Structure 1
């Protein structure tokens, strides 16, 4: 199940492939400091073309296996990569759920661009994939992500202590989810 291209008023979301390695590397390098607090600790080797090709190939493999969908977010007006988003840990059967992950360039913050992109991804997840639940977790101090997820309709479901190792430290996370309104009982 390949990730289909998605389009919004201001954005193009296209499936991430190894051919995008140079653009992703430039985006990663430009946003290294900005993203550091929210991502795993990255060795300098992560910021190489080879590492990005391998990362994008792993994402493509996860997509091919049905475990994930990964998109790159491109601003139409400037034709520049501004972010990434993904539905990962896709589980079918009785669960019909996934995790939502996203990252946006520092230069694109505060313009509603991620809300626009994720709105399209959520619509695809519910209408086309018929998922029941999308889960998204964030660090308590990440107020931008908290606000974005609330705006998109995600509800807090819990708090996980030392949930993920972020920037070299085990970090607490707020657990949220969004349920497919078509599955309302």
Structure 2
């Protein structure tokens, strides 16, 4: 179905129809509603998992484009480098202007550039139709899923509770932070 390093538009349409169940993709506009639907279906059908990653020797853990295509097309899924890179290739084949970015994930320790996400640009934002160059962050490979693309041009943005957490995105200096909040801590639990 796929060439060695990319997908054709027809292969992408076939994949979205057959594997993601999005029957009318051929007639869908390359707009935010379609992007949102593709993101939702990918998160539903292509699992974020790291079992296959940790079972590999360390020198083979960063995938090749062939690995990414095979894991995405087969619905095996994988970690962020697999799922988000695959999503980028899929969206490009469909006609979106998409590219991957490196991110820093902080939990208890900071580890540089250990998460991959993607940016989609040029999609009109119905909530801000006068925005000249809208940017949307897409992440289909996180244990804390996003309910839809994040409009980076409208920060700060807060999502309602998703997977038990309230998610917020805000700009601090030259960095964009993703913040999780579940509830105020109980002083007796600390």
| Common topology (TM > 0.5) | no
- Structure 2 length-normalised TM: 0.30
- Structure 1 length-normalised TM: 0.31
Q: Which has the higher strand share?
A: 1
**Higher CA-based Rg:** 2
Larger RCO: Structure 1 or Structure 2 (Cα < 8 Å, ≥ 6 residues apart)?
Answer: 1
